[in-house]
Chains A and B, each alone.
Chain A
Amino acid sequence: DIQMTQSPSSVSASVGDRVTITCRASQGISSWLGWYQQKPGTAPKLLIYASSSLQSGVPSRFSGSGSGTDFTLTITSLQPEDFATYYCQQVNSFPLTFGGGTKVEIK
């Protein structure tokens, strides 16, 4: 199985800050990585697929990059509604696997 490791596990930030989250795969997955946002009590929501493609309706302050084993999710100018937990997911091979999550908290 491909292990997905996210860092940091949590980050404290203020509205307007730039936040970067990293995800590392235990083996190369090309660009087959997605990012999800989850707010308490709700299901995850797809933000980015194929490493850098923005899902329809997702604000442009979210961006993704990377290929192979190292990936990043960047939120420029953090908004109040962005405080949530973010997960990466690989679709390179089965079983599909997720990272452990990064909680973005209010400073």
Chain B
Amino acid sequence: QVQLQQSGPGLVKPSQTLSLTCAISGDSVSSNSVTWHWIRQSPSRGLEWLGRTYYRSKWYNDYAVSVKSRITINPDTSKNQFSLQLNSVTPEDTAVYYCARGIPAGGRYNWFDPWGQGTLVTVSS
């Protein structure tokens, strides 16, 4: 059974960097058959996909245009986890952040299963 455990601070000051980690059990961040994602949810923006990392003989990343200049998703193979860094945050980045595994099914990837437990991150001074 795959489980994702998130960790990181719940309060970040404006202009600083939001950093979260997602620890994986029951699967490998280096798996060739899945992808690893960050998604956030807020009342104003709903569910918003932020980006993904995945391994197919080498590492790849894809990011949402809305955050592309500020986001980095990195795998950590030594700890079997992946991380999210979002720079220069503003109050608009306040949201519940989720990590998720993207699974292949029905001919496509990126069906999210499972999800991490979620981390409420508030951007405030």
Contact = CB atoms under 8 A, between A and B. Distances in A.
A95 B106 contact: no
Contact of A49 (B64, B98, B105): B105
Given A50-B108, A53-B106, A95 B115 contact: no
A43 B116 contact: yes
B26 interface: no
Contacts of B107: 50
Given A94-B62, A95-B64, A96-B49, A43 B118 contact: yes
Interface residues of B, number: 24
B76 interface: no
Nearest to B115: A43
A11 interface: no
For the side of the interface on A, what is the size category? 20 to 34
Contact of B46 (A43, A49, A96, A101): A101
B47 A91 contact: no
Contact of B109 (A42, A44, A87, A91): A91
A98 B50 CA distance: 12
Contacts of B118: 42-43
Interface stretch (A15-23, A28-36, A72-80): A28-36
Given A49-B105, A50-B108, A53-B105, A95 B113 contact: no
Interface in A18-67: 31-32, 34, 36, 42-46, 49-50, 53, 55
A62 to B, nearest CB: 15
A44 B64 contact: no
Interface of B: 46-49, 62, 64-66, 98, 100, 105-118
Given A43-B116, A96-B110, 9 more contacts: A42-B117, A42-B118, A43-B115, A46-B111, A89-B47, A91-B111, A98-B46, A98-B49, A101-B46
